[in-house]
Amino acid sequence: MAVYFFDSSALVKRYVTETGTAWVISVLDPGAANAIYLARIAGVEVVSAIARRARGGDITLSDGAAAIGQFRHEFATTYCTVEINQALIARAMDVAESRALRGYDVVQLAAAMEVNAYCLALGILPLTLVSSDAALNAAAVSEGLIVEDPNTHP
């Protein structure tokens, strides 16, 4: 079993077809028995991304509604979510001082760092952060995380 932490930019590929979708689906396949973690805020970001694409005409409104419905179900039943609490925010604030990231990206990075520390404490292999955001990926590598960009898997 591998442990993955998906940021919103990568997770949306599960619900909207774009570069990297096939690879993301393979990692998320229940048969792969991977543990999938997300920051709780990813729920808002993924719904927003899908809704924006539907309103913008990149996907149909009905496809957007179906994708949002599927995501909401899987968000509630499939993914392990990291709660946004005071300790996580404090860590994110510390990371934000040294990394040039947008607010929610640094929160997601701090959440990934928290899960990674937990994995290492349990003697589990380190997690892989999955993100399509170049700035987040660079910051994650600087923080010692393993990173996978689904855009490199066409």
Q: What is the pLDDT of residue 102?
A: 87
Q: How far apart are CA 147 and CA 46, in angstroms?
A: 20
Domain range list for the chain? 3-152
Taking all residues of the chain, what is their mean pLDDT, rounded to a whole number?
A: 95
Q: How many CB atoms lie within 10 A of CB 25?
A: 14
Q: How far apart are CA 97 and CA 91, in angstroms?
A: 10
The CATH architecture one would assign to domain 3-152 is 3-Layer(aba) Sandwich (3.40)
Q: How far apart are CA 133 and CA 11, in angstroms?
A: 12
Q: Residue 154: is its pLDDT beyond 90?
A: no
% residues pLDDT > 70 (the chain) = 100
Q: What is the pLDDT of residue 1?
A: 82
Q: How far apart are CA 21 and CA 16, in angstroms?
A: 8
Q: Residue 42: is its pLDDT beyond 90?
A: yes
Over residues 94-114, mean pLDDT: 92
pTM of the predicted model over 0.85: yes
120 pLDDT tier (thresholds 50, 70, 90): very high
Q: How far apart are CA 115 and CA 135, in angstroms?
A: 20
Residue in the block written with tokens 């709780």: 40
Q: What is the pLDDT of residue 103?
A: 85
